[in-house]
């Protein structure tokens, strides 16, 4: 494994436990020489991820849509930043340039990214590992919904094995 994609939040108002988990993961990846590609933000869990990777002398690459440049949302302290035309292109690059996906807690954008890779894996279009870091049970309601989808016959049992 050479590079993983991390989906995570840009909010600065989240619990310290989420920051601690992000930092621990970043240290593990950097110390094992596993590069990271992420959404390119400078705030919240995104910012902590990038900061920790840099402190550990790891490799981190950001991917952002062009409209975020004028909003100054990008992290100027990372070694590589890829600008895209739109969010769909951003997700495509995040998904294509990876050996695995790890999803940390986040909001709508993070959930969108996670559900896209799960859907693509269900369809056989993304065959790499998907890991959900369920810090403090953050994803428990979503995992319950996935089970409900199975119980109501919207997905097959094998589709509950798409992620870890």
Specify whether domain 3-137 bears CATH 3.40.50.450: yes
94-108 pLDDT tens trace: 999 899 999 999 999
* CA 11/CA 117 separation, integer angstroms: 22
Is the pTM value of this prediction over 0.85? yes
For residue 14, pLDDT over 80 is answered with yes
The 10s digit of each residue's pLDDT in 19-74 is 999 999 999 999 999 999 998 888 899 999 999 999 999 999 999 888 776 765 66
Strands (E), the chain: 3-7, 35-38, 60-65, 80-84, 101-103, 130-132
Q: What is the pLDDT of residues 50-59, one digit of tens each?
A: 999 999 999 9
Domain boundaries of the chain, sorted by first residue? 3-137
């Amino acid at each position: 494994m050479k590079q993983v994609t991390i989906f995570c939040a840009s909010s600065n108002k989240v619990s310290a436990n989420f920051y601690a988990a992000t930092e621990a993961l970043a240290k593990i990846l950097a110390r094992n020489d596993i590069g990271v590609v992420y959404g390119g933000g400078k705030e919240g869990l995104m910012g902590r991820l990038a900061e920790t990777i840099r402190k550990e002398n790891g490799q981190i690459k950001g991917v952002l849509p062009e409209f975020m440049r004028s909003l100054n949302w990008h992290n100027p302290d990372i070694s590589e930043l890829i600008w895209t035309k739109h969010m769909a292109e951003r997700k495509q690059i995040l998904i294509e340039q990876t050996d695995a996906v790890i999803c940390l807690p986040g909001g709508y954008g993070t959930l969108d990214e996670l559900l896209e890779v799960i859907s693509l894996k269900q369809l056989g279009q993304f065959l790499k590992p998907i890991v959900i870091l369920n810090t403090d049970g953050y994803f428990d309601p979503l995992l319950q919904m996935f089970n409900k989808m199975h119980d109501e016959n919207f997905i097959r049992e094998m589709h509950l094995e798409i992620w870890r």
